[in-house]
Structure 1
Amino acid sequence: MTNISKEKIDEILNKADIVSIISVYVSTHKKGRNFWAVCPFHNDSEPSMSISPEKKIYKCFSCGASGNAIDFVKNFKRVDFITSLIEVAKNAGINLDEIKNSEQRSKHTSQQEKIFEINEQAMNLFKTIIYSIEGVKAMEYLQKRNISKSEIEYWDIGFAAKNIKLYDKLIEKGYEQKQLLAAELITLKDGKVYDYFFDRIIFPIKNEDDKIIGFSARTMEEITPKYVNSRETIVFKKSELAYNINNVLKIINMKKELIVLEGFMDVIALKRIGIENSIALMGTSLSEFHLKLFKKLKSKIILFLDGDGPGVQATLKIAKKLLQQNIKVTIVNNDTKYDPDELINQGKQEILKIMIEKSIHPIKFVIEKLYQENDVSNPDWLKKYLNETFEFIQMSNDLIVNETFLNELAKITNMNIDVIKKYYDAFTNNHHFNTGYQNDEVSKQVVISTPTKKDNLKPKSKNGEAIAENKILVNLLNTNEFLETISNKIDLIGNVDMRLVIEEVIKKYKNHQYAGHDLKKILKLIEESNLDSSIALMDIVTTPLNNIEFTQKSLDDSFLTLEIFKKIKERDELDIRLKEAKDFQIKKSYAKMKDALTKEIMKLEKIRGNK
């Protein structure tokens, strides 16, 4: 456990140059005694953030964002307190022996960290090869696709050559075969080892922490599949891909918009023309991972998928999911039948920028797109068209928006508006849609949202993980006595919504907005923060089980419980992969990893039993 005194933190803040720290992330200029910058925490166009070198603070006079150097780094980079403290301490030239000598917990397991390390080594080899004689063909291909050398360097693009074996190179570096199998960089067949990627251009895929989770490999020949992605590992999940998210997180505070694309070549092309706030889903599926990511970013989503039939259907499906989660979204009406990469390569970047600028409301997109294949003379088609459109309209909680689009429907179908409204009323009576809002009476009882039957955060005797998280939250709501302990171990909180709430409470303490022992005040502060969270706070706070007197020991016990659950989840994940694996060596590797995790769990269980 890391304990850093207030005196040490004050020393760091006093010695750190807040202007130089902030200048790393945004452009600053001196005016009078202070420095000024465009605020990265809201959609700012004119410098409205003042930075005082004397007072060691920053303050935006538009959105109210304020704090010291540690707060800036934490909020800008979306990292925890300790990470931001370390960065500021480096600027101040102060060694943090308290952290160096303590056992720091990583948000990733040792197995995951090892795969990240191996992937990094693999990427370095692929990058070396593309600049060698073996990579000449790949370089020529990329140049034909208008990808420059500077882009190759920026995106860490490489090449997997037939004649250079990745397996041999990594073994020479001291890695074991079982580790390369776990990273899915090799394949065993008939007792022989083969590289998984060969004769393909390699594009690394990174996560939010800038770590390489896997690769996508593009062939240069007219063969299928054109792209081969990494097989699933404990760090690479096909449902959790967001190409370029590592770069987007650095600028999203300033942009406040996120463009969602299908393929990473579209992301690369958009960056080429100065549009940097885009990610690629690496397909057309939107998962729970993406929904949580978008909620956390709190930015408007601009959907820009392909304009063909499948692309339109995927757009409608994704838009519906976003609307159901109350995530603000607009859609690029791509009638060109080309994807963004193709449009840019055709020299139509200005047209593309206008398309993005004029992205439209999902309901307008539905009305226009579904009507293109119309058969108004057919009552069955018309009824189907209206029903599909009504599905989207009823997701809106804005009466003016609904009225506008009902009138537009009447206009496009040449139907009487009264008939349209009557049919819409009948439709909504038979198709109830839960927008996620609640009435005033309910909101008085529950601070953030109404608990549902699916709410897995209510204390249940069988749900030890949820109970541990709830106890930690209630303790934090009451007192800041163990604030640093909770801050340092927050990565063990598995529930994303719970972590959001806990991080917000910690922020209120550190910004001196809350001093503890006033539940009414902190619940009101959280409510005013408008968190995208489904935590039923009032239920948790009023449950006797969660309101036991907290000590350092009981807090440690709760975090120990969470660590055990985290290991169990990792083991269960390995168990699934073990059952799915067909190759004996791979099975053997997974079995060893599973046994190691089981031993770790037993060791932690023994520690808990002895407490």
Structure 2
Amino acid sequence: MSSKLIPDEYIERIRRHFDIVDVVGQFVPLKKSGRNFFGLCPFHSEKTPSFSVSPDKQIYHCFGCGAGGDVIRFIMDIESLDFREAVKYLANEAGMNIPQLDDTTSENVQDSYRNKVFQLYDLTTKLYHYLLLETEHGKNALNYLIKRGFSRDIIEKFNIGYSPSAWDTLQNFLTKRGFSLELIKQAGLVIETDEGRTYDRFRNRIIFPIFDAQGRVIAFGGRVLDDGHPKYLNSPETNIFNKSRTLYNLHLAKQEIRKRRQAILFEGYIDTISAWKAGVYNGVATLGTSLTVEQAKIIKRYADEVVISYDSDLAGQQATYRAIDILLPVGLSVKIAQIPQGLDPDDYIDKYGAESFKSNILGNSITATAFKLQYIRKDFNLKDEAGRLQYLTSALSIISELNHAIEREHYLKGLAEEFNLSFPSLKSDLDQIYYNKRNKKEYTKDNLTNEWNNIINNGNHVGRHKTLHPAYYNAEKYLIYLMMNSREIAEKVRQEIGSDFHVEDFSVLAAYLYSYYGKDYDSNISHFISTIEDKKYMQLATELALLEINENVTEEELNDYIFQVKKHFLELEIRKKQKEQLIAERNNDFAKSLQIGKEIIELRNRLKWGKK
């Protein structure tokens, strides 16, 4: 969303209202180090903090993945919002009135369409909710929910509703209120047959609205009341609903997840709501599909640990095993809640109560490694010697994935005791597997292309040697930093160098700075960065802004930086002349060679005396 639709004065009020350390601190545990605060980056997996927040400059930057910007950009990235949505989010947090905006501009056509769909879903939610609670149509569904332990408060909290069995209840309701049939179809609320007939997608189902992280309805899930199939039916994907990037109940649970730095992961709506009834307010669920990497990354923004609480049947355990291998690589710690065989979380809570679920199930969660060692037992006959040896080989492979020796030793001792084996022998085999895997990883790492690989390189480019840049490169980098901090320095550089930077990225940033100061803005790094529309250059600017450079540069130091840039032009010109002189000599044109030689001497004198 373009900021042109929102007055600059209002945007600046938003920025001034918030301290970026406080805002980021709601999502990332921060520790002060020197003038800045540091924490683990919420946008990529890392073990050593490379995410920096500057209270002085009101910006953040990750030296691993490059993410950076001001407080509005942070909310855009962490909450997956566009610019205007992020401004609204912060305005609501600040209790500030949001100005009326022009929704008719060509830039806002897509946003206007999204708003219509949100209105459509909101009205649909209210209709289904009303039909469940206030009409005869929803009586059977309401009785079913009450028998399942759903109070009216819970039904209202989650906006649960009911869709009647008629073919066109919703369609007629929405079209009478001015929504086009085409929009209703695009929103996935009706289905069109090959013959062109349309009918409601959800019929005779309990309806669970699906919300995005900001609490807006973006889809629906419906559960049958009879023996119909499928048992659960979700909305199709649309331009505002992507199942692989959506977690059920995140809008209600995110605050508790942030507070506890832990999320409880369920399979579906019923388990999540039952857990909420039991006082578990940090539960979220996937939407009838396996956990995705995108969902894992979203959880990582809010939590450090995930407790998986899937069903105890084979399908649930298989899904748990897959989820572990998705959650661990994004930097999350994983535990597994063990539900007794034949039960799901909802069944357990109904049978044994809320306190038992919290203390005996969630409170006794086991580690991911312990679960894996237990899970693979079904694949081997442990009464047979060959089966035991095969199991031990697989178990050692799982244990070898652990990074810490003390963890590996813990599980190894358990195997040695259970199978009455020599600990040193098992450790010898484990060490061999561990080092073979590590060497293989090192080989893979050394053969990767120079792309970002956050898991292996913790956010750094592949390569073991820090790049040594030439003097002109460092001079241009320092000049950009100083220009961001001083309008006067920017003007001096503009007069002395203009756009003649050697490094293209620095030349682009210089152009942004000239434009910024040309609008009569004072030096304000956070404000300047917010005006950069290209994300690449916004991230580069935040990186440079956090350099440890003395801002109180002397006139002599500033002139030296400028000279280093000019000097490189002279060096390039000398090289060019030397090539021309060589060609002249080869052509026996000694007069021309002599003339070029004089020009080279003049250029070298200018280098010596610091002139361009």
Q: Which amino acid aligns with 2:234?
A: N
Larger radius of gyration: 2
What is the aligned partner in structure 2 of residue 449 from structure 1? 460
Q: For 1:562-595, what per-residue CA distance to the aligned partner results, in whole angstroms no more than 9, with x for missing partners?
A: xxxxxxxxxxxxxxxxxxxxxxxxxxxxxxxxxx
For residue 123 of structure 1, report the CA deviation from its aligned partner.
1.4
What is the aligned partner in structure 1 of residue 198 from structure 2? 193
Cα distance 1:72–1:82, how it changes in 2: closer, same or farther (>3 A)? closer
Indicate yes or no: 2:136 matched with 1:133.
yes
What is the aligned partner in structure 2 of residue 582 from structure 1? none
Cα distance 1:352–1:102, how it changes in 2: closer, same or farther (>3 A)? same
What is the aligned partner in structure 2 of residue 381 from structure 1? 387
In the alignment, which of 320, 333, 343 is matched to residue 315 of structure 1?
320
In the alignment, which of 219, 232, 235 is matched to residue 240 of structure 2?
235
What is the aligned partner in structure 2 of residue 418 from structure 1? 424
In the alignment, which of 537, 547, 552 is matched to residue 518 of structure 1?
547
For residue 302 of structure 1, report the CA deviation from its aligned partner.
0.8
Cα distance 1:249–1:472, how it changes in 2: closer, same or farther (>3 A)? farther
- SS of match in other structure, 2:366: coil
Map of 1:284-323 to 2, 5 A cutoff?
285-323=290-328
TM-score (normalised: structure 2): 0.61
What is the aligned partner in structure 1 of residue 179 from structure 2? 175
For residue 168 of structure 1, report the CA deviation from its aligned partner.
1.1
Q: Is the 8 A contact 1:167 1:186 kept in 2?
A: yes
Cα distance 1:168–1:520, how it changes in 2: closer, same or farther (>3 A)? farther
Indicate yes or no: 2:340 matched with 1:335.
yes
Q: Is the 8 A contact 2:3 2:83 kept in 1?
A: no
- SS of match in other structure, 2:263: strand
Map of 1:27-46 to 2, 5 A cutoff?
none
For residue 241 of structure 1, report the CA deviation from its aligned partner.
3.3
Matched residues in 1 for 2:317 and 2:186: separation?
37
- SS of match in other structure, 2:545: coil
Indicate yes or no: 2:265 matched with 1:260.
yes
Q: Which amino acid aligns with 1:282?
A: L
Q: Is the 8 A contact 1:344 1:352 kept in 2?
A: yes
For residue 414 of structure 1, report the CA deviation from its aligned partner.
2.1
Matched residues in 1 for 2:14 and 2:397: separation?
55
Q: Which amino acid aligns with 2:414?
A: E
For residue 150 of structure 1, report the CA deviation from its aligned partner.
1.0
What is the aligned partner in structure 2 of residue 326 from structure 1? 331
What is the aligned partner in structure 1 of residue 125 from structure 2? 123
What is the aligned partner in structure 2 of residue 143 from structure 1? 146
Cα distance 1:89–1:210, how it changes in 2: closer, same or farther (>3 A)? closer
Query: What do you get for the CA RMSD once the two structures are aligned?
Result: 4.7
Cα distance 1:96–1:273, how it changes in 2: closer, same or farther (>3 A)? closer
What is the aligned partner in structure 2 of residue 217 from structure 1? 222
> Which 10-residue stretch deviates more, 481-490 or 155-164?
481-490
- SS of match in other structure, 1:153: helix
Matched residues in 2 for 1:314 and 1:157: separation?
27
Q: Is the 8 A contact 2:279 2:354 kept in 1?
A: no
Structure 1 stretches of 5 or more lacking a match?
26-38, 45-63, 453-469, 522-611
What is the aligned partner in structure 2 of residue 207 from structure 1? 212
Percent identity among equivalent residues?
24
Q: Which amino acid aligns with 1:184?
A: G
Matched residues in 1 for 2:289 and 2:190: separation?
28
Matched residues in 2 for 1:90 and 1:134: separation?
37
Structure 2 stretches of 5 or more lacking a match?
31-52, 59-69, 464-502, 517-524, 551-612
What is the aligned partner in structure 1 of residue 415 from structure 2? 409
For residue 87 of structure 1, report the CA deviation from its aligned partner.
6.5
Higher relative contact order (Cα pairs below 8 Å, separated by 6+ residues): 2
- SS of match in other structure, 2:184: helix
Matched residues in 1 for 2:110 and 2:103: separation?
20
Q: Is the 8 A contact 1:267 1:278 kept in 2?
A: yes
Q: Is the 8 A contact 1:387 1:427 kept in 2?
A: no
Q: How many residues align?
A: 449
Q: Which amino acid aligns with 2:157?
A: Y
What is the aligned partner in structure 2 of residue 30 from structure 1? none
Q: Is the 8 A contact 2:131 2:163 kept in 1?
A: yes
Map of 1:356-375 to 2, 5 A cutoff?
356-371=362-377, 375=381
Q: For 1:184-236, what per-residue CA distance to the aligned partner results, in whole angstroms no more than 9, with x for missing partners?
A: 21122223221111111111111223222211111111333221112232333
Q: Is the 8 A contact 1:261 1:304 kept in 2?
A: yes
Cα distance 1:332–1:518, how it changes in 2: closer, same or farther (>3 A)? same
For residue 240 of structure 1, report the CA deviation from its aligned partner.
3.0
Q: Which amino acid aligns with 1:411?
A: E
For residue 9 of structure 1, report the CA deviation from its aligned partner.
7.5
What is the aligned partner in structure 2 of residue 530 from structure 1? none
Q: Is the 8 A contact 1:326 1:436 kept in 2?
A: no
